[in-house]
C-alpha cells in the first residue's frame, strides 16, 4: 500500500504531506486542538454520565471479533469515525473504576484536578529527565518529593524521584540496598563498575509471606534470583511477626547468609495489613540492615488525621514506596520512591555527555535523570501538584478515611451473614471473605466462589476480586471509592448469596449421586 508521504517522492524529507502537518500540535493548529479535544471530552462526559454498571461482562472472545475487522494500515482520516470506532472497541466495554460497585483491585476513582493536569501535561509533553527539557516541572516534582519526605519524617537529607508505580519503586529500593552493600566491601569496586561481588548468592531479602510479588521480580532482575527472597511468617492479622523476623535473621547468620534488606509492608494487597514498623525498624538498626517500607497502598494515610498513627515507625525507613495513584486518588501513573539519604541515589546515576554531563551536576543543575531508572519520563507530578493546590491534603485524607470507615461497617454487616465467612477485620479498606454454605468440601467451596465472582461480572452486577489464602479461594472487596455506600456492598452480597444458592441447587443432583 502506497502512503501519501511516499507519493510525494524526493521531497519527503523537507516537505511533509499536508495530512501529516494538519495533525501536528503547534500554534497554527491551536484552534483545531481545542475543537477536537472538546469533542473527545464530550464523548467521555456522555459515557460516564450514563454508566449504569462497572463492566458489561464482555469476554475476550467477544472483543476479539471487533478488532479482527480493523486494518491499522487503513486510517480513517478524521476524528469523528475514529471516535465512533473507539467507542465500540474500548469505551463501551471499559471497566469503570468510578462506579460504586467496582470493588476489585487497587484502582481508585480519580479527582478532577488530576484529570485536568493530564489535559495540560500531555500536550506540552515535558520530559522530566533533564532541567533543560522541563524547567519549572523539575521544581514541581522536587517540591512534591520534599513534601512527601516531610510527611513521612525522613529528615532534611531525604530525596527521591517519581516512578511508574510500586513495582519500579520497590526495584529501585532493592537495587540501591544491593549496591549500598557492595560499596562497603573491601577490595570491591562497587557493583556499577565490577558487577556483583563474590558470594552474592548468599544475599537475602526478607519480607512477610504476604508481601508484594515485585520482591521476587526485583530479585530476579537484580541477578539474585527468586531464592534470595526469604518469607517471614505473619501473625493472625497477616502482619509480619517481629519474633519470626528475629528468628529469620538469626537463621541467616547461622547459615552464613547475608541479610541484605528487610521489606516491611504498609498495606498488603490482599488484606491491607500494616507490618509493625517500629519493631521491625529496631531489628534492622540492631543488625545494620537496610529497611524499605512498601507503602504503595497505605501511603494515603500520610494525609489522614485520624489514621496517620498506623504508619508509626515509617520515619525510620531507609527507603519508602508511595503510590499516589492508589490512595491519593490520582490518575495512573503517579508514584514515588524516596530515600533517607540523598547520596544513596548515586547508585542509579550515569552521566552521559549528550544529556546530563557531570559538569552540569557539579554546577548544580537539577537533572532528575540522575536519580531515576528511567530516562524519558512524563510530568506525572503535575497531577498531584494541581490536586494539592486546589483541594489540599486534608481533603484527600478525608476521602481515604471514608473508605476505611466503610470497610469497618461492611465487616460488621458481613459478620452477621450466617453463610459468609469473613477472614479478619479490615486493617485498612480491604475485606477478604467467602460464601460458605454448610456441607461443602473445600474443593466445592473453591468452585462455588469462583462461579460467584464470574457470575457477578458476566451479569454486569459488580466487579470484585479474588485471592487464595492457605490454598483456599476467597473473594475480596477492595474499597477505594468514597462514593461507594454500605447499601452498594449489601446489594453485592445479596447477589453473591443468590448466585451461590443457584450453584448449590444446580450441583445438588451430582452431589447426591456421588454420595
| Contact assessment for residue 141 and residue 160, using Cβ atoms and an 8 Å cutoff | no
Provide the CB-side half-sphere exposure for 188 (13 A, CA). 18
How far is 414 from 477, CA to CA, in rounded Å? 11
Q: What is the pLDDT of residue 408?
A: 97
Q: Which residues pair with residue 477 across a beta bridge?
A: 431
Provide the CB-side half-sphere exposure for 298 (13 A, CA). 28
Which grid coordinates belong to 478? 477492595
Distances, alpha carbon 314 to alpha carbons 150, 208, 238, 266, in Å? 12, 16, 18, 9
The phi, psi pair for 97, rounded to 5°, reads: -70, -20
Which grid coordinates belong to 431? 475485606
Domains of the chain plus CATH, in order, are 116-391 (3.40.640.10), 394-514 (3.90.1150.170)
Radius of gyration of the chain (CA): 26
The burial class, CB within 10 Å (0-12 / 13-18 / 19+), for 262 is buried
Q: Which residues in the chain come in under a pLDDT of 70?
A: 1-20, 511-515
How far is 322 from 296, CA to CA, in rounded Å? 4
Q: What is the pLDDT of residue 22?
A: 82
Helix, strand, coil tally for the chain in percent (to 5): 50, 15, 35
Distances, alpha carbon 177 to alpha carbons 60, 115, 315, in Å? 41, 35, 17
Alpha helices in 211-367 (DSSP H): 214-221, 242-254, 277-287, 324-327, 358-362
Q: What is the DSSP letter of 197?
A: P
How far is 96 from 102, CA to CA, in rounded Å? 7
Which grid coordinates belong to 248? 529469620
Q: What is the pLDDT of residue 190?
A: 82
The phi, psi pair for 284, rounded to 5°, reads: -65, -40
Q: Residue 282 region, left (φ>0) first, then alpha (ψ -120 to 50), else beta?
A: alpha
Q: Which residues pair with residue 319 across a beta bridge?
A: 292, 339
| Contact assessment for residue 476 and residue 435, using Cβ atoms and an 8 Å cutoff | no
* Residue 236: Cβ within 10 Å count: 7
Alpha helices in 50-78 (DSSP H): 60-68
pTM over 0.85: yes
How far is 37 from 22, CA to CA, in rounded Å? 15
| Contact assessment for residue 263 and residue 215, using Cβ atoms and an 8 Å cutoff | yes
How far is 196 from 128, CA to CA, in rounded Å? 30
Which grid coordinates belong to 427? 486493617
CB within 8 Å of 245: residues ≥ 6 apart: 206, 232, 262, 280, 283
Place of cell 482520516: 77
- The two most distant CA atoms of the chain are separated, in Å, by 82
Q: Which residues pair with residue 295 across a beta bridge?
A: 322
Amino acid at each position: 500500500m502506497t502512503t501519501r508521504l511516499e507519493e510525494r517522492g524526493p521531497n519527503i524529507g523537507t516537505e511533509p504531506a499536508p495530512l501529516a502537518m494538519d495533525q501536528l500540535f503547534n500554534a497554527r493548529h491551536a484552534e483545531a486542538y481545542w475543537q477536537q479535544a472538546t469533542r473527545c471530552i464530550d464523548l467521555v462526559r456522555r459515557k460516564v454520565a450514563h454508566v449504569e454498571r462497572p463492566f458489561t461482562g464482555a469476554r475476550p472472545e467477544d472483543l476479539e471479533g471487533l478488532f479482527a475487522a480493523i486494518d491499522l494500515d487503513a486510517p480513517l482520516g478524521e476524528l469523528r469515525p475514529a471516535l465512533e470506532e473507539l467507542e465500540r472497541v474500548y469505551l463501551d466495554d471499559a471497566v469503570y473504576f468510578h462506579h460504586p460497585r467496582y470493588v476489585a483491585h487497587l484502582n481508585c476513582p480519580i479527582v478532577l484536578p488530576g484529570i485536568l493536569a493530564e489535559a495540560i501535561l500531555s500536550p506540552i509533553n515535558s520530559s522530566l529527565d533533564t532541567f533543560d527539557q522541563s524547567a519549572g516541572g523539575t521544581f514541581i516534582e522536587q517540591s512534591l518529593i520534599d513534601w512527601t519526605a516531610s510527611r513521612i519524617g525522613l529528615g532534611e537529607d531525604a530525596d527521591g524521584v517519581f516512578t511508574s508505580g510500586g513495582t519500579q519503586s520497590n526495584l529501585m529500593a532493592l537495587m540501591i540496598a544491593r549496591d549500598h552493600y557492595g560499596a562497603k566491601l573491601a577490595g570491591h569496586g562497587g557493583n556499577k563498575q565490577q558487577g556483583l561481588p563474590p558470594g552474592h548468592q548468599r544475599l537475602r531479602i526478607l519480607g512477610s509471606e504476604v508481601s508484594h510479588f515485585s520482591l521476587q521480580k526485583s530479585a530476579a532482575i537484580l541477578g539474585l534470583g527468586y531464592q534470595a527472597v526469604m518469607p517471614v511468617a505473619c501473625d493472625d492479622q497477616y502482619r509480619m511477626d517481629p519474633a519470626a523476623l528475629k528468628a529469620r535473621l538469626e537463621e541467616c547468620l547461622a547459615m552464613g547468609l547475608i541479610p541484605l534488606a528487610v521489606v516491611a509492608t504498609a498495606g498488603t494487597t490482599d488484606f491491607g495489613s500494616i507490618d509493625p514498623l517500629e519493631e521491625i525498624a529496631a531489628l534492622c538498626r540492631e543488625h545494620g540492615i537496610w529497611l524499605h517500607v512498601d507503602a504503595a497502598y497505605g501511603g494515603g494515610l500520610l494525609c489522614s488525621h485520624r489514621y496517620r498513627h498506623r504508619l508509626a515507625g515509617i520515619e525510620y525507613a531507609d527507603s519508602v514506596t508511595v503510590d499516589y495513584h492508589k490512595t491519593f486518588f490520582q490518575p495512573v501513573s503517579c508514584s514515588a520512591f524516596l530515600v533517607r539519604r540523598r547520596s544513596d541515589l548515586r547508585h542509579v546515576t550515569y552521566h552521559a555527555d549528550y544529556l546530563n554531563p557531570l559538569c552540569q551536576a557539579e554546577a548544580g543543575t537539577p537533572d532528575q535523570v540522575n536519580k531515576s531508572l528511567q530516562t524519558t519520563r512524563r510530568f506525572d507530578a503535575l497531577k498531584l501538584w494541581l490536586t494539592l493546590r486546589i483541594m489540599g491534603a486534608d481533603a484527600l485524607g478525608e476521602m481515604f478515611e471514608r473508605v476505611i470507615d466503610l470497610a469497618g461497617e461492611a465487616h460488621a454487616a458481613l459478620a452477621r451473614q450466617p453463610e459468609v465467612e469473613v477472614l479478619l477485620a479490615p486493617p485498612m479498606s480491604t475485606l477478604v471473605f467467602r460464601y460458605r454454605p454448610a456441607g461443602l468440601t473445600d474443593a466445592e467451596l473453591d468452585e462455588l466462589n469462583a462461579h460467584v465472582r464470574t457470575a457477578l461480572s458476566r451479569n454486569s452486577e459488580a466487579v470484585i476480586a479474588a485471592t487464595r489464602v492457605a490454598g483456599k479461594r476467597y473473594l475480596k472487596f477492595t474499597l477505594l471509592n468514597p462514593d461507594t455506600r454500605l447499601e452498594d456492598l449489601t446489594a453485592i452480597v445479596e447477589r453473591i448469596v443468590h448466585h451461590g444458592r443457584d450453584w448449590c441447587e444446580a450441583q445438588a443432583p451430582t452431589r447426591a449421586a456421588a454420595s
